[in-house]
A and B are shown apart, each in its own frame.
Chain A
Amino acid sequence: MTEANKPDQKQDRGQLRIDEEECKGCGLCIEACPPKVISMNERLNHYGYRTALYAGAGCTGCGICFIACPEPGAITVYRLVRAREVEARVANAAEGGASECASN
Chain B
Amino acid sequence: MPTETAAEYVVAQARARSFYERYERKEDLQHQTHFCPGCGHGVVHKMIAKAIDDLGVQDRTIMVGPVGCGVFTYYYFDVGNVQAAHGRAPAVATAMKRSRPESIVISYQGDGDLSAIGSAEILHAANRGENITVIFVNNAIYSMTGGQAAPTTLLGMKSTTTPNGRNAATDGYPLHVSELLSTLQAPAYIERVGLGDNKQIAQTARAIKRGLENQVRGLGFSLIEVLSPCPTIWKLTPVEAQHWVRDVMEKEFRLGVFCDRTKERTEKADLRPADPGSSSHPSVGTPDLRPVTPNPALEELPRILGVAEEDLPEGNAAALADNKAIDLEVRIAGFGGQGVLLFGEVLAEAGLDAGLEVSWLPSYGPEMRSGTSNCHVRLSRQSIDSPLVTAPNVLVAMNEPSLRKFDKSVRADGWVIYNGQEFPADCVRDGVHVLALPFTELADELGDKRAANMVMLGALLEIAGALPQASIDDALRRLVKNPRWVELDERALARGRELYRESLVEV
A–B contact at 8 Å CB threshold (below): yes
Considering only CB atoms and an 8 Å cut-off, how many residues of chain A contact the other chain?
Answer: 57
Whether the pair A83, B7 counts as a contact (CB closer than 8 A) is yes
Chain B: number of interface residues, binned into ranges: 35 or more
Whether the pair A22, B32 counts as a contact (CB closer than 8 A) is yes
> A61: nearest residue on chain B (CB-CB)?
B12
Whether the pair A80, B239 counts as a contact (CB closer than 8 A) is no
Whether the pair B7, A76 counts as a contact (CB closer than 8 A) is no
State A26–B230 Cα separation when bound (angstroms).
12
State A22–B374 Cα separation when bound (angstroms).
73
Whether the pair B239, A28 counts as a contact (CB closer than 8 A) is yes
Whether the pair A79, B12 counts as a contact (CB closer than 8 A) is yes
Type the 1/0 row for A1-23, where 1 means its CB is closer than 8 Å to any CB of B.
11111010001001100000110
* The one of B12, B31, B202, B242 that contacts A103, using a Cβ cutoff of 8 Å: B202
> B35: nearest residue on chain A (CB-CB)?
A70
State A45–B205 Cα separation when bound (angstroms).
30
> A11: nearest residue on chain B (CB-CB)?
B7
Whether the pair B5, A47 counts as a contact (CB closer than 8 A) is no
State A81–B8 Cα separation when bound (angstroms).
6
* The one of B12, B33, B38, B209 that contacts A77, using a Cβ cutoff of 8 Å: B12
Q: How far is the CB of B415 from chain A (nearest CB, A)?
A: 82
Q: Please give, as numbers and ranges, the residues of chain A lying within 8 Å of B15 by CB-CB distance.
A: 72-73, 76
Type the 1/0 row for B229-259, where 1 means its CB is closer than 8 Å to any CB of A.
0010000011100100000000000000000
State A67–B54 Cα separation when bound (angstroms).
15
Q: Does B14 contact A (CB under 8 A)?
A: yes
Q: Does B408 contact A (CB under 8 A)?
A: no
A69 and B50 contact, Cβ closer than 8 Å, known pairs A22-B32, A28-B242, A78-B9? no
Q: Does A37 contact B (CB under 8 A)?
A: no
Q: Does B4 contact A (CB under 8 A)?
A: yes
Whether the pair A14, B12 counts as a contact (CB closer than 8 A) is yes
Whether the pair A24, B32 counts as a contact (CB closer than 8 A) is yes
Q: How far is the CB of A81 from chain B (nearest CB, A)?
A: 6
Q: How many A-B residue pairs have CB under 8 A?
A: 167
* The one of A1, A3, A71, A75 that contacts B33, using a Cβ cutoff of 8 Å: A71
> A102: nearest residue on chain B (CB-CB)?
B202
Type the 1/0 row for B11-42, where 1 means its CB is closer than 8 Å to any CB of A.
11111110100000000010111011111111
Whether the pair B47, A80 counts as a contact (CB closer than 8 A) is no
Whether the pair B209, A78 counts as a contact (CB closer than 8 A) is no
* The one of A26, A49, A66 that contacts B13, using a Cβ cutoff of 8 Å: A66
> B205: nearest residue on chain A (CB-CB)?
A99
Whether the pair B37, A81 counts as a contact (CB closer than 8 A) is no
Q: Does A36 contact B (CB under 8 A)?
A: no
* The one of A5, A71, A76 that contacts B11, using a Cβ cutoff of 8 Å: A76
Q: Please give, as numbers and ranges, the residues of chain B lying within 8 Å of A79 by CB-CB distance.
A: 9-10, 12
Q: Which of A3, A22, A28, A86 has the most CB of B within 10 A?
A: A28
A94 and B42 contact, Cβ closer than 8 Å, known pairs A1-B10, A22-B32, A32-B198? no
Q: Does A93 contact B (CB under 8 A)?
A: yes
Whether the pair A102, B198 counts as a contact (CB closer than 8 A) is yes
> A96: nearest residue on chain B (CB-CB)?
B54
State A11–B5 Cα separation when bound (angstroms).
14
> A34: nearest residue on chain B (CB-CB)?
B198
> A32: nearest residue on chain B (CB-CB)?
B198
Q: Does B53 contact A (CB under 8 A)?
A: yes
Type the 1/0 row for A41-69, where 1 means its CB is closer than 8 Å to any CB of B.
00000010100000000000101101111
Q: Please give, as numbers and ranges, the residues of chain A lying within 8 Å of B42 by CB-CB distance.
A: 69-72
State A14–B412 Cα separation when bound (angstroms).
103
Whether the pair B32, A71 counts as a contact (CB closer than 8 A) is yes
* The one of B12, B40, B41 that contacts A97, using a Cβ cutoff of 8 Å: B12
Q: Please give, as numbers and ranges, the residues of chain B lying within 8 Å of A31 by CB-CB distance.
A: 239, 242
Q: Please give, as numbers and ranges, the residues of chain B lying within 8 Å of A11 by CB-CB distance.
A: 7
> B17: nearest residue on chain A (CB-CB)?
A94
State A86–B39 Cα separation when bound (angstroms).
35
Q: Does B2 contact A (CB under 8 A)?
A: yes
Whether the pair B31, A21 counts as a contact (CB closer than 8 A) is yes
Q: How far is the CB of A52 from chain B (nearest CB, A)?
A: 11
Whether the pair A83, B5 counts as a contact (CB closer than 8 A) is yes
Whether the pair B50, A86 counts as a contact (CB closer than 8 A) is no
Q: Please give, as numbers and ranges, the residues of chain A lying within 8 Å of B17 by CB-CB distance.
A: 94
* The one of B9, B13, B19 that contacts A67, using a Cβ cutoff of 8 Å: B13
Q: How far is the CB of A5 from chain B (nearest CB, A)?
A: 6
Q: Could you give 15 example pairs across A and B, Cβ below 8 Å?
A: A26-B238, A27-B38, A67-B13, A69-B46, A70-B40, A72-B42, A73-B14, A75-B13, A77-B11, A79-B12, A93-B12, A93-B14, A96-B54, A99-B202, A103-B206
Query: What 14 new A-B contacts, CB under 8 Å, besides A25-B37, A28-B38, A81-B8?
Result: A24-B37, A63-B13, A67-B202, A68-B43, A70-B42, A77-B13, A78-B12, A84-B4, A86-B8, A89-B10, A99-B50, A99-B205, A99-B206, A102-B205
The 8 closest A-B pairs by CB, nearest first: A70-B42, A73-B15, A102-B202, A83-B2, A26-B38, A26-B37, A66-B13, A77-B13
